[in-house]
Chain A
Amino acid sequence: MDMPKQEKAERRSTRDTEVDESASTTSETPGATSLDSDVDSILDEIDEVLEVNAEDFVKSFVQKGGQ
């Protein structure tokens, strides 16, 4: 999700100086980058537990309505 979102954030910040400031104070927060750097390892981990037949799994997940 990196490239397009990044561009959007930049576009927005040029429009709005207040956002610009906040962007610089929070730029060191991890999150997005932590997934990017070891994205393969988390996907490998998830590959191991993902439902084997995705199509059947999705099709059979049928609920009755609630509140």
Chain B
Amino acid sequence: MGIETEYGISVIGEPTANPMVASSQIVNAYAGYALPGVRRGPRWDYNEEYPLRDARGFDMSRAEADLSQLTDEDLGLANVILTNGARLYVDHAHPEYSAPEVTNPRDAVLWDRAGMMVMESAARLASAAPGGWPIVLYKNNTDNKGASYGCHENYLMRRTTPFAEIVRSLIPFFITRQIFTGAGRLGVGQDTRELRYQIGQRADFFEVEVGLETTLKRPIINTRDEPHADPELFRRLHVIVGDANLSDTATYLKMGTTSLVLAMIEDQFLAGHDFMPQHPIREMHQVSHDPSLNHRLTLDHGKRLTAIEIQREYCRLAAKYCDEKYGAQVDEQTLDVLAHWELILDRLSADLGSCAAEIDWIAKLQLLEAYRSRDQLGWDAPKLQAIDLQYADIRPERGLAAKLEKSGRLTRLFTDEQVLGAVTAPPTDTRAYFRGECIRRYPEAIAAASWDSVVFDLPGGKSLLRVPTLEPGRGTMAHVRALLDSCPTAADLLTALTATPGD
């Protein structure tokens, strides 16, 4: 699994600055700092990208596609791969950090936090550049004026799982998980037609149930089918409904509970349990628009349940599933996700305020309410809108979520030291280890890399050599560390790799 986050970007004092240029400055400033002495950092290898391939089994023609969907055209925008295995680049006028592949939700949180630290350093470096304006980055998903940008989750799934079942079981889960994944937003409607508080940043930007697009007519279930792995065996479920979370616990629950639901779908455990609402898009908006959590969704079969009640069902089934499938062999983190999930649902139904240290939308709402009562403000006060935005400012000295963390009001799962470690070190149990270590050990010899390849350009070599890494679980520390240790140069590595086929 992994998380990719597009950050909001502001050039202070220069509101009309070109955001693509500013985003490039961010990426290039960091590349110059993180990969010093390398004239040009490793490029992205687009060989295996098919942004118009649909998981339902057909390709959209390039002529039909909107220009913003053609993500495989290298427009010369900044794009580097980091030693922790992440990709830092410019996507649609936003700097984006795509975290390295990890195997569990705790690691997903850690390398997502590492991305925040990378972005924070990058913005500081770019702002300090001669002639540069100060650039500030925001981990949010909308400007409240009609634009939205994403925080996407990716999960590896077995290819054999019927897509229709994924759709049927995931839509109700995604609509209702907002109650703990929502990052909170002061404004209703894509362009804020009403100044009212809602749970989700992204909810109002979803207009269809299933589809290929990510930039327009956004679908609850995105069908982009680029597995970045063996396409015969796997699909990559590209989840675009989520908010960018500041709270570690929210990210942890988002990744952990979604993984559990996907595992149940793969094992057909949800057959016979149908929570599909009659009007999914309308319900997605209504759940988000009701911070009291009293709204009842009308399901296909006529029942009317609250989001908490539907989540309780998924949670109960997940506990049963783990018990039946793994029994006493269940791993600790899965148990921890289950326990946290149940606890947060209990607390959401008992006392919303008791979740303020874990749930972004409640933490932000408490701040807004405190200001409203102290300063006698109406919901239309610009100060409240400013607080909504500044909650997501990633500078530790200015960001409001960061301030809450510092005073212990928002729970952190990792220390700064742990996050700093993940800024440079890759996860050890996925192919991200091979990618990151190659870039750290042989920076001059890497021409390009991607999720499923590392491309070498050896000094004096006639052509580029592409090492495919199609299997996400290979290239781990256990697999390749000894090999890398025995190869002081990239040429040694390639000699060794060609001598031992299959690695």
Interface residues in chain A, defined as those with a beta carbon under 8 Å from any beta carbon in chain B = 1-2, 5-6, 8-9, 12-13, 16, 19, 22-23, 25-27, 29-35, 39-40, 42-43, 45-46, 49-51, 54-55, 57-58, 60-67
| Docked CA distance A24–B403 (Å) | 31
Interface residues in chain B, defined as those with a beta carbon under 8 Å from any beta carbon in chain A = 6, 8-10, 15, 19, 68, 91-94, 138, 142-150, 152, 214-215, 240, 292, 294, 343, 346-347, 349-357, 365-367, 369-371, 374, 381-383, 385-387, 389-390, 397-398, 400, 403-404, 407, 409
Which A residue's beta carbon lies closest to that of B385? A58
**Is there an interface contact between A30 and B357, defined as CB atoms closer than 8 Å?**
yes
Q: Helix, strand, loop or mixed for chain B's interface?
A: mixed
Contact partners of A51 in chain B: CB under 8 A: 386, 390
**Is there an interface contact between B93 and A64, defined as CB atoms closer than 8 Å?**
yes
Known: A46-B403, A62-B143, A65-B215. A55 touches B350 (CB 8 A): no
Contact partners of A40 in chain B: CB under 8 A: 374
Known A5-B351, A26-B354, A58-B386; 18 more pairs at CB < 8 Å:
A5-B353, A13-B350, A19-B349, A22-B347, A23-B350, A26-B347, A26-B351, A34-B409, A35-B370, A43-B370, A51-B386, A55-B382, A58-B389, A63-B93, A65-B148, A65-B215, A67-B91, A67-B214
In the assembled complex, the CB of A65 is this many whole angstroms from the nearest CB of chain B, namely: 4
| Docked CA distance A31–B92 (Å) | 38
Contact partners of B91 in chain A: CB under 8 A: 66-67
Contact of B94 among A8, A19, A34, A66 (CB under 8 A): A66
Contact partners of A35 in chain B: CB under 8 A: 353, 356, 366, 370, 409
18 pairs from A and B in contact (CB 8 Å cutoff) = A9-B351, A12-B294, A13-B350, A19-B349, A23-B346, A26-B343, A27-B350, A31-B357, A35-B353, A35-B366, A42-B407, A46-B403, A49-B400, A58-B144, A58-B389, A61-B8, A63-B149, A65-B68
Q: Helix, strand, loop or mixed for chain A's interface?
A: helix
Contact of A67 among B152, B351, B354 (CB under 8 A): B152
Contact of A66 among B149, B350, B390, B404 (CB under 8 A): B149
